[in-house]
């Protein structure tokens, strides 16, 4: 699979980096309960450290609020994926999942307060492209839009299922997250993924200097 971030994305967000973790040959079901236990523990931490008034002002979320302003006054109201999780926790909603990877992904996103996404590569048609269109940062394959990152929405057609045997995770980074911190987050996520699900894991990061890669 080829992954490309179009140059126009970096005109809007010159410091953006997107980290990818590709996992193949995974077991996405047998350790889901154990992964959800991690997620439950993190939920307790969030309830102790956040409230509805502090979410937007958090130093790792406010840069995304500024990012929205790049699209002008007509940009839709948005919540990044991690903000949605935080709001669900603060509203005491249950967001346990039936698949291991999604539970681990949510755990990492909440622990480090970073936007995230995931797809089953077997359901992606051709090249995966990140672009700016319709007042949004979005990503798509050759057939359809798969997700919108600033007005957060995810296409269910490529969502992970317990039966998925491969996964493609992506994390979006903006300052103040340093390059060293990005590396630590990606390595932690990769280690958790392989420890819980087995298989083969590949880690890579794309930015304005290297905006395209072919997996596999």
Q: How many domains, in total, are found in the chain?
A: 1
pLDDT in tens, 155-202: 999 999 999 999 999 998 988 888 999 999 999 999 999 999 999 999
Query: When comparing pLDDT for 59 and 83, which is higher?
Result: 83
Residue 99 — φ and ψ, nearest 5°? -115, 145
Q: What is the pLDDT of residue 12?
A: 85
Distance CA 164, CA 193 (A): 13
- 191 contacts: CB under 8 Å, gap ≥ 6: none
SS3 198: coil
Q: What is the pLDDT of residue 13?
A: 87
Q: The domain containing residue 158 runs over which residues?
A: 2-214
pLDDT in tens, 101-158: 999 999 998 899 888 889 999 999 999 999 988 778 899 999 999 998 766 788 999 9
Q: What is the pLDDT of residue 77?
A: 46
Pick the closest to residue 196 from 46, 90, 44, 39 (CA basis): 39
Distance CA 40, CA 34 (A): 10
Q: If 0-12 CB within 10 Å is exposed, 13-18 middle and 19+ buried, where does residue 11 land?
A: exposed
Can you give the CATH number for the domain in which 184 is found?
3.50.40
pTM of the model: 0.87
């Amino acid at each position: 699979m080829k992954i490309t971030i179009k140059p126009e994305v970096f005109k809007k967000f010159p410091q953006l980096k997107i980290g990818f973790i590709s996992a193949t040959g995974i077991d996405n079901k047998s350790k889901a309960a154990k992964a959800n236990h991690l997620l439950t523990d993190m939920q307790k931490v969030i309830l102790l450290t956040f409230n509805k008034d502090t979410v937007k002002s958090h130093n790792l979320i406010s840069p995304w609020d500024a990012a929205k302003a790049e699209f002008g006054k007509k940009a839709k109201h948005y919540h990044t994926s991690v903000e949605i999780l935080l709001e669900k926790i603060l509203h005491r909603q249950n967001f346990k999942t039936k698949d291991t990877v999604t539970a681990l992904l949510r755990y990492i996103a909440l622990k480090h307060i970073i936007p995230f996404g995931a797809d089953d590569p077997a359901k992606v048609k051709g090249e995966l492209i990140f672009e700016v269109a319709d007042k949004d940062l979005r990503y798509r394959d050759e057939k359809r839009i798969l997700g919108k990152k600033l007005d957060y929405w995810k296409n269910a057609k490529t969502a992970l299922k317990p039966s998925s045997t491969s996964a493609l995770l992506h994390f979006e980074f903006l300052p103040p997250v340093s390059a060293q911190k990005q590396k630590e987050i990606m390595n932690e996520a990769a280690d958790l993924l392989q420890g819980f699900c087995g298989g083969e894991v590949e880690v890579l990061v794309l930015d304005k200097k290297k905006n395209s890669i072919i997996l596999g």
